[in-house]
Amino acid sequence: MDSADGGQRVPATPQAGGGPGRVNWLPAALRRGLFRQLVRRPGASNQLLDAVLGLDVDRVSRQLAVQLAAGRRADWGEEYVWQEPGETGHPSTSYQDLVTLFDHLALPAGSRFVDLGCGFGRAGFVAALLCQDVCFVGYELVAERVAAAQRAAARLGLRQLVFETADLSRVQPVDADVYYVFCSFREDTGRRVLGLLQAVAQRRPIQLVVNTAMYGFEPEATPWLRLVAQVGIFSHYASVAVHAAAD
């Protein structure tokens, strides 16, 4: 990972809504430094920070919404695909909430963080740019979201980010130190994922960060985990529970 890009002049903040093309001409190091400055600034919107990263969320989301409305996405199978009224696509955890989560986790260098249902990979960009030497793997059902994340990561030179198109009703995630699950699965997929994570926990220490509102991940369903903390995710009026494998 690069340094804090100290000593380099950071260009004027791009306007939200301008799309990634507005800043893609800037050197990657300047965009990485600008993101680090803005992401902790109150009021910096997801749209603005997406533009700094070159993450083309709005355009791709509009295309997906049209396809979904037309019933043209059989490749999504029976898994529920998040769409909210008034949204152009995947409902978005704010970058500020993700910063709060990673500040709380304080991941040591060399950690692997796996996002099960990563959307456009925003958690990965926060991990890569604010954490020291953390490997991120994101699995996402929708290939267009994965492609957008891959393009942005490549342009920024963030080789520690891996995004894969995957149906978690069939794919086995890699071993990791932390697993993050925010969006709901179909019930049988959720049971399968929990079983896979329990098997990992029998081999190595893990943490599981999960939306407290998710069906199937309640404490009575996961006696092999112990609650460590809860962290507010205010952009969803929710919280995530941080669990560790029980001793």
Query: Which tens digits make up the pLDDT trace of 95-121?
Result: 999 999 999 999 999 999 999 999 999
The upper half-sphere exposure of residue 120, i.e. CA atoms within 13 Å in the direction of its Cβ, equals: 28
Q: What is the largest CA-CA distance in the chain?
A: 53
Query: What is the share, in percent, of the chain residues with pLDDT greater than 70?
Result: 80
pLDDT at 86: 39
As given in the structure block, the two tokens for residue 102 are 């990673």
CA nearest to 208, candidates 196, 197, 218? 197
Q: Quote the CA–CA distance of 175 and 197 in Å, as a whole number.
A: 9
**pLDDT surpasses 90 at 12:** no
- In degrees and rounded to multiples of 5, residue 148 shows phi and psi of -65, -45
Q: Quote the CA–CA distance of 91 and 71 in Å, as a whole number.
A: 20
Q: Quote the CA–CA distance of 6 and 65 in Å, as a whole number.
A: 41
Question: Checking DSSP bridges between strand 207-211 and strand 238-245, what pairing results, if any?
Answer: antiparallel
Task: Kindly state the average pLDDT of the residues 13-27.
Answer: 60
Please count the residues of the chain: 247
106's CB contacts (< 8 A; 6+ apart) are none
pLDDT at 3: 39
> Predicted confidence band at 217 (pLDDT cuts at 50, 70, 90)?
confident
Q: Quote the CA–CA distance of 62 and 74 in Å, as a whole number.
A: 18
Convert the pLDDT of each residue in 29-62 to its tens digit.
Answer: 999 999 999 999 988 999 999 999 999 999 998 8
Q: Residue 9: left (phi > 0), alpha (psi -120 to 50), or beta?
A: beta
pLDDT at 239: 81
CB 220 within 8 A of CB 199: no
pLDDT at 11: 46
